[in-house]
Amino acid sequence: MDTFFLVNRYLHITAGFIGFFVAPVALAVRKGGAAHRRWGRVFFWAMAVAGISALVGAQRIHSLFLLLTAVFSLYMACFGYRSLYLKHLAWDAKVAPFDWAVAGVGLLVFVGTVGYAFVAGNIPVGVFGGIGAMTAARQLRGYANAGHWNKIQWLRNHISGFLASYIAAVSAFSVTSLRFIPFPYNFLWPTLLGVPVIAWWQRRVSAQKVKLAPSSGLSGSPAPALRK
């Protein structure tokens, strides 16, 4: 059993290391291009492996922080990835039961996280729980308005989900490795720096025209290319 958790630990470190360096590459290359799709896939699977291995490892070291961060990172990565399959909600009101269920469960989990943070006086955990709860609530509200989405809403969701997942991963690295930064700043500085980046990307996407690229995206459907 010790060997299993040791392997899981190294798997988590490797996946997190890959995701840490791949995300900036995916952001730097042309959006909707082959390189963006390739590095986006690598980032998503790196975050998936890092998140799942963190869930397993949290049981071993009894770390509630690691558990909650893993849940948040996994949820946001899946939110960002799943958005690529929801482009049709701009004109189609059909939302899969799977999407309703994931958003509903996510809302319950994150509201519970906020409640725990309030009782325990844990501000950093409350910040992540609050962001997760707002994201899940917006998802549910968006599904209720399916068929009337802005045509690039899925792209905004894609950007927000992947960047939020990256912020959570950096936060976990900061807390576990950058011990010279005092609490709670070691937990919160990635969020303080990352949220304005997400807001900037959202404004940039909204201000630019989006055209369909002839090549396919992660979901197998036409992917957008942002005009420079």
How does pLDDT run across 50-74, given as a tens digit for each residue? Answer: 888 888 877 676 667 777 888 898 9
Q: What percent of the chain has pLDDT over 90?
A: 39
Q: What percent of the chain has pLDDT over 70?
A: 89
- Indicate if the pLDDT at residue 227 is higher than 50: no
Give the pLDDT confidence score for residue 213 in this predicted structure: 39
Give the pLDDT confidence score for residue 219 in this predicted structure: 46
How far is residue 3's CA from residue 5's CA, in Å, rounded to a whole number? Answer: 6
* 152 or 61: which leads in pLDDT: 152
Among 163, 144, 151, 160, residue whose Cα is nearest residue 103: 144
- Indicate if the pLDDT at residue 166 is higher than 70: yes
- Indicate if the pLDDT at residue 214 is higher than 70: no
Taking CA atoms, 176 is separated from 164, 173, 196, in Å, by 19, 5, 24
How far is residue 154's CA from residue 89's CA, in Å, rounded to a whole number? Answer: 8
Mean pLDDT for all residues in the chain: 84
**Tens-digit pLDDT profile for residues 15-28:** 988 988 898 898 88
Give the pLDDT confidence score for residue 114 in this predicted structure: 92
Identify the band that residue 215 occupies on the pLDDT scale cut at 50, 70 and 90. Answer: very low
Average pLDDT estimate for 67-83? 90
CA angle 149, 103, 14 (to 5 degrees): 110
* First-residue to last-residue Cα distance in the chain: 52
Give the pLDDT confidence score for residue 223 in this predicted structure: 44
Domain range list for the chain: 2-97+144-226
Judge whether 11 and 49 are in contact, CB under 8 Å: yes
Give the pLDDT confidence score for residue 32 in this predicted structure: 78
**Tens-digit pLDDT profile for residues 95-134:** 999 999 999 999 999 999 999 889 988 888 888 899 999 9
Question: Which residues pair with residue 29 across a beta bridge?
Answer: none
Give the pLDDT confidence score for residue 46 in this predicted structure: 92
Judge whether 223 and 217 are in contact, CB under 8 Å: yes
Average pLDDT estimate for 191-220? 69
- Indicate if the pLDDT at residue 228 is higher than 50: no
Average pLDDT estimate for 120-149? 91
* 191 or 57: which leads in pLDDT: 191
Give the pLDDT confidence score for residue 1 in this predicted structure: 66
